[in-house]
Amino acid sequence: MCGIYGSTKVSKFEVLDQVNRQRGNFASGIYYSDGKSYDFQKTEGSFNWDKIPLEEGLVYLGHNQAPTSTERVWKEHNSHPFVRENWIVAHNGVLTNFETLKKEYIPDHENVVDSSIIPALLLMFEKKADNCTSQEKEQNIIKMVLELLEGTFGVWIVNLKTLNVYIARQGSTLFYDHNSFSSVKGTDFKEVEEGSLYRFSKKGITKVGTFKSKSPFLEL
């Protein structure tokens, strides 16, 4: 089990980190940006907060995880967030068509963790779109990839060229308020709509489009 979360408020991000640790403390990943530059870290166990700038005005994204069936020993290249050139992604859930996606789209993909296929697919579709960085085409690339994924996911996705941040879910839990999101529901948090893509920024969280969800959980 994993937890993803983010906030534009330092104190709130720290609280969400602690809350999501109930979902796993095997490894942690963090991304932060001021909108002009970025950095990210992966570590076994908990964050070393002394190595993280705690400043208002930054966008913080986090991921906590428990050991998976494929990785019981911590390795940096098999930990969240996963990066492929222009894309960085953290994922909570299980992709049931991981092997199929590798075979059909990226047969030379070597990482054994299912989540790693997401930024690889984003990069592939971006290159097919002539490396465009317009916001509309950027969002269309993300929606195309999300529509390929079977199983469950809660994700945060960053295009490292534009530094735009997006969140979405299918099956997995994900909640948000005006300046934060989390796999664990916080006070006054609303549920992220399945099949909806949201942009997350210092101005808040805004729905920017929809995609065809393949949620394994039917709504009655």
In a domain, 216, yes or no: no
- The number of distinct structural domains making up the chain is 1
Rg (CA), the chain: 16
In a domain, 137, yes or no: yes
In a domain, 62, yes or no: yes
pLDDT tens across 84-94, in order?
999 999 999 99
Could you tell me which of 96, 66, 73, 89 has the C-alpha nearest to residue 2? 66
Q: What is the pLDDT of residue 179?
A: 96
In a domain, 215, yes or no: no
Segment 138-160 mean pLDDT: 97
Please report, for the domain that includes residue 185, its CATH number: 3.60.20.10
pLDDT tens across 7-30, in order?
999 999 999 999 998 887 788 999
Q: Using CA atoms, how far apart are residues 54 and 32, in angstroms rounded to an integer?
A: 10
In a domain, 219, yes or no: no
Q: Record the tokens describing residue 211, joined without a space.
A: 């995609």
In a domain, 218, yes or no: no
- For 3, the 3-state DSSP assignment is strand
In a domain, 217, yes or no: no
Model confidence, pTM: 0.93
In a domain, 7, yes or no: yes
Contacts 24+ apart (CB under 8 A), 15-21: 16/62, 16/180, 16/182, 16/184, 16/186, 17/47, 17/62, 17/64, 19/182, 19/184, 19/186, 20/62, 20/64, 20/182, 20/183, 20/184, 21/46, 21/64
Q: Which domain holds residue 141?
A: 2-210
**Torsional sign, CA 80, 38, 163, 55:** positive
The percent of residues above 90 in pLDDT, for the chain, comes to: 76
